[in-house]
Amino acid sequence: MPLALSATDPRRALLRLLDAFPAQEPGAEARVVQFRDFALAHEDCFERTCVPGHFTASAWLVDGTGQRILLTHHRKLGRWLQLGGHADGDNDLARVALREAEEESGLRDLQVERAIFDLDRHMIPARGADPDHWHYDVRFIVHATGSSDFSVSDESHALAWRSIADVAEDATLDSSLRRMARCWLASKCNTIPTQPSP
């Protein structure tokens, strides 16, 4: 589909990633369309000031064995989730996911895969002066290639390495987290990339 955007529009890179996303599980194609439509409708979609919602990026942060995922007990939301955060104007969402993983875990020697791993739109409840709004969350695989000794940032109550197999079966966890765990376990993607992007 041709893009009705200028050659320098920062949304073009995201639209190319969305076009390349392999929508393999039920509902994935509809999510791709939803994310594309939102990006095309809002020039400021990478800014948290975009009132209906905005793009965020998350890290599916796996350890060197590919068997464990690092989760955060999110301070504001009070739930176990993957690491991630706001784009704050950065249209390179893979870079955002990597940055958030580093900042929230204290881990170094992380490597991000630049293809989209998962897409999830979810409502964020109103808090203070911020009204409720949508997060259009783009998730990327991030590999921990060095030490797995994390440090807890002020974004989290706690961090924990969890077995991905256990996450896939834990009904108390977020449904999209379990979806990613099932996708990871069923795919061939759970190996260290041969040419990771910094």
Report the SS3 class of residue 87.
coil
Least confident of 66-80, 114-128, 132-146, 178-192: 178-192
Q: For residues 10 and 139, give the distance between their C-alpha atoms in angstroms, rounded to a whole number.
A: 18
> Which pLDDT does position 51 carry in this prediction?
86
Helices (H), 68-131: 93-105
pLDDT in tens, 36-57: 999 999 999 999 999 899 999 9
**Over 50: is that where the pLDDT of 170 sits?**
yes
Domains of the chain: 11-186 (3.90.79.10)
54 strand-pairing partners: 135
197 strand-pairing partners: 112
**Over 50: is that where the pLDDT of 1 sits?**
no
Q: For residues 131 and 112, give the distance between their C-alpha atoms in angstroms, rounded to a whole number.
A: 32
Contact 143, 110 (CB under 8 A): yes
Q: Write out the two tokens for 6.
A: 């200028």
pLDDT in tens, 136-150: 999 999 999 999 999
pLDDT-based confidence at residue 87 (cuts at 50, 70, 90)? very high
* More confident of the two residues 24 and 133: 133
> Which pLDDT does position 5 carry in this prediction?
87
**Residue 42 CA: distances (Å) to CA of 39, 68, 91:** 6, 36, 13
